Amino acid sequence: MCIQGTMASHPLCRERGDVTIVLSPANWLQRRHQHQSRVRALLGPYLQLRAGGTPHPVIDFLFTYYRLTPTQLLRWHPGYGVTMAGQESSLYAHLRGYCRADNGVTVDPRHLIKRSMAIECVVRLLEATANRPASLNCFGLHEWAMIYRSSPDEVRHRGVPLRLGHNGTDAVVESLPLRCTHYDAFRFFASLARPRNAVQLTRETQIATEQPGCLHAGMDLYKFSAKLLPLLDSETLMDAFELAFLARELDMRASPYDLSAFGYNAVRIETPSGRAEYVQRQASLSERSAGVRAALLTRCRELLQCATDLTAAGQP
């Protein structure tokens, strides 16, 4: 990505001759506007519903399970190594991870060093995932397994009807193999569904079981991007969020819930044609996630190298 601006030494990097990009107010304010427009173009109708207090069984998840609120998602970040010049940059000076620099406001190198272990964990998981072949045979059954033989008050989306009813939902789980590979989906399985899964997943074995065909592994690219703000730029964040948005839609269209009232046609994975449709859409999202994963992995490796250099230079 070409970023217009001037180059200046960062106070904590001058001894090694490193530089940071200094963006003029006109430049970074334009990028902030473009980012906010991108968010609103995707979420506009949803934001109106949310402002009115109307719940949404599909999109709400992106702001309840993951850490950012819509307001936080709307806030643009330039990423580590970029200084925002001009008086307007003072709006960022009080935010976590930022500090004042000679030319304006920038992400604090001390924050990078503090987050280096978290970045290293993300790198290890992304590398392991990227090096495996995609598995496309789970058919999105995790949502079905979450309510298997559960009482009505244990159903996650109690205000949304089940397409096949409780007995029909249970019958689908019993007729198809469960092949979930993502621990953070598996851990929400109903207790009677867990023994049915092909592998008993744990947090400790997550790095050994994560695979790039999984919708949730793709959605977690957004989780990691959000977790590493403001070290990552918001353009990278939005690439990951748009992927998560599409994955969540397929996730719930293939679920046992009737979401027609919200404008979602079901992917009927209880039928052969529905499973074929799911695999086709899953493969497309897996291909898209590969690009997002590669970009995020590259950026995280760069951040790790910066943290290593700062530490070697004796920075706090």
Pinpoint the alpha helices (H) of 146-233.
165-175, 183-186, 206-209, 215-227
| pLDDT 10s digits, 15-57 | 333 457 999 999 999 999 999 999 999 999 999 888 888 899 9
Claim to verify: residue 58 and residue 206 sit in the same structural domain = no
Task: Let me know if residue 314 belongs to a domain.
Answer: no
Structural domain span for residue 92 = 6-108
Of 307 and 313, which is predicted with more confidence?
307
Claim to verify: residue 171 and residue 98 sit in the same structural domain = no
Distances in whole angstroms, Cα of residue 6 to Cα of each of 20, 63, 81: 9, 36, 12
Task: Let me know if residue 113 belongs to a domain.
Answer: no
Segments of the chain assigned E as strands: 6-8, 20-23, 82-85, 98-100, 104-107
| pLDDT 10s digits, 206-245 | 999 999 999 999 999 999 999 999 999 999 999 999 999 9
Task: Let me know if residue 258 belongs to a domain.
Answer: yes
Claim to verify: residue 245 and residue 160 sit in the same structural domain = yes
Q: Beta-carbon neighbour count of residue 312 at 10 Å?
A: 9
Claim to verify: residue 288 and residue 139 sit in the same structural domain = yes
**Residue-level pLDDT at 316:** 60
Pairwise CA distance, residues 74 & 238, whole Å: 10
Claim to verify: residue 135 and residue 272 sit in the same structural domain = yes
> pTM for the full model?
0.92
Claim to verify: residue 135 and residue 232 sit in the same structural domain = yes
Map tokens 């086709």 to a residue.
280
Distances in whole angstroms, Cα of residue 206 to Cα of each of 124, 130, 157, 183, 239: 11, 14, 27, 6, 24
| pLDDT 10s digits, 157-212 | 778 999 999 999 999 999 999 999 999 999 999 999 999 999 999 999 999 999 99
Task: Let me know if residue 1 belongs to a domain.
Answer: no
Q: How many domains does the chain have?
A: 2
Pairwise CA distance, residues 312 & 243, whole Å: 37
Helix (H, G, I), strand (E, B) or coil at 94: coil
Angle subtended at Cα 184 by Cα 179 and Cα 187, rounded to the nearest 5 degrees:
75
Task: Let me know if residue 273 belongs to a domain.
Answer: yes
Claim to verify: residue 157 and residue 97 sit in the same structural domain = no
Q: Name the domain boundary from 89, 108, 127.
A: 108
